[in-house]
């Protein structure tokens, strides 16, 4: 198989999920063959940190991040800043999260979600690692908390799987944050979302799968995997009027700027 003439980063996937248990090695191999040379696998519950860390340790192209997903915030022990800072000592741990707010299914836990979010933000400040944000149906509170906390002390941030309003997108960009394109941006009916990305500075754009979820066409409705980052990147290239290799190079440079620990990592 001919190697593609570009290199991409899947900035957010979940390689520890059961969907990949039977063929994780093959999934990573397919990603590399598709030009996806680095992946960040996300731990959504602190009790799973050791398993997610082990995946990154076993595979050179895989990095990891850890946090408590907002939909689990009420059911899991509240993380402490110290817990997250300690986990961040690992050389391939590159981000804090995913954290955030999700009022779509779990609005009843909004208070603990907000508390958890602020804890993760403080951990991002202390470690210098970027925050990884999940936001759904909580735009006003999200914009307010991100701005309040940024005013109290700067931190870096990726708006993972961004599919929120133009207002939240602009608020995030105004704080110097990054917007990440997932397969949602490639859906035929996502024209308004593509316009939000088009209006953003190219140097603040990342690409991800959020696999096993949200597979882009032509795989929509089936299990997603990191190799499919290329399908979303192709749409992103069209949005910005670039070739796929140009878009891949620019978004990879953006990833290196935000996830500087991943950019600087090498096996001893």
Q: Which residues contact 30 (CB under 8 A, 6 or more apart)?
A: 225, 226, 227
**pLDDT tens for each residue of 153-162:** 999 999 999 9
Q: Mean pLDDT throughout 81-92?
A: 98
For residue 2, what pLDDT is reported? Answer: 59
Q: Mean pLDDT throughout 171-195?
A: 97
Task: Check pLDDT > 70 for residue 268.
Answer: no
Enumerate the H helices of the chain as residue ranges. 24-33, 49-58, 81-87, 103-106, 110-127, 139-152, 166-174, 191-198, 229-240, 244-258, 260-264
User: CB–CB of 39/69 below 8 Å?
Assistant: no
Q: How far apart are alpha carbons 37 and 225 in whole angstroms?
A: 13
Question: Dmax of the chain from CA atoms?
Answer: 51
Task: Check pLDDT > 80 for residue 47.
Answer: yes
Task: Note the Cα 57 to chain centre separation in Å.
Answer: 19
Task: List the binding residues for a divalent metal cation.
Answer: 12, 14, 98, 134, 160, 210
pLDDT tier, 171 (very low <50, low <70, confident <90, very high otherwise): very high
The architecture of the domain spanning 8-264 is: Alpha-Beta Barrel (3.20)
Task: Check pLDDT > 60 for residue 115.
Answer: yes
**pLDDT tens for each residue of 205-255:** 999 999 999 999 999 999 999 999 999 999 999 999 999 999 999 999 999
Q: How far apart are alpha carbons 97 and 64 in whole angstroms?
A: 10
Better-predicted residue by pLDDT, 209 or 3: 209
pTM: 0.96
Task: List the binding residues.
Answer: 12, 14, 98, 134, 160, 210
pLDDT tier, 67 (very low <50, low <70, confident <90, very high otherwise): very high
Task: Check pLDDT > 70 for residue 112.
Answer: yes
pLDDT tier, 23 (very low <50, low <70, confident <90, very high otherwise): very high
Radius of gyration of the chain (CA): 17
* Percentage of the residues of the chain whose pLDDT score is greater than 70: 99
Phi, psi values for residue 189, rounded to 5°: -90, 15
pLDDT tier, 266 (very low <50, low <70, confident <90, very high otherwise): confident
């Amino acid at each position: 198989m001919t190697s593609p003439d570009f290199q991409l980063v899947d900035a957010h996937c979940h390689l520890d999920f059961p969907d990949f248990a039977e063929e994780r090695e093959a999934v990573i191999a397919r990603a590399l063959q598709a030009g996806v040379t680095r992946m960040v696998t996300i731990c959504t519950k602190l009790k799973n940190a050791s398993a997610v860390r082990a995946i990154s340790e076993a595979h050179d192209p895989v990095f990891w991040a850890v946090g408590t997903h907002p939909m689990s915030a009420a059911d899991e022990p509240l993380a402490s800043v110290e817990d997250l800072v300690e986990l961040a000592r690992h050389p391939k741990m590159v981000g804090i999260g995913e954290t955030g707010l999700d009022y779509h299914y779990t609005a009843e836990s909004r208070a603990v979600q907000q508390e958890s979010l602020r804890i993760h933000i403080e951990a991002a400040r202390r470690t210098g690692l970027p925050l990884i944000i999940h936001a759904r149906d909580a735009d006003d509170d999200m914009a307010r908390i991100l701005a309040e906390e940024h005013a109290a002390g700067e931190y870096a941030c990726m708006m993972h799987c961004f599919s929120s309003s133009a207002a939240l997108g602009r608020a995030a960009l105004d704080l110097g944050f990054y917007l990440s394109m997932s397969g949602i941006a490639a859906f035929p009916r996502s024209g308004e979302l593509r316009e939000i990305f088009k209006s953003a500075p190219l140097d603040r754009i990342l690409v991800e799968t959020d696999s096993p979820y949200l597979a882009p066409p032509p795989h929509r409705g089936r299990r997603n995997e990191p190799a499919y980052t290329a399908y979303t990147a192709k749409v992103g290239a069209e949005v910005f009027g670039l070739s796929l290799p140009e878009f891949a190079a620019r978004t990879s440079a953006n990833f290196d700027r935000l996830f500087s620990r991943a950019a600087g990592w090498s096996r001893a």
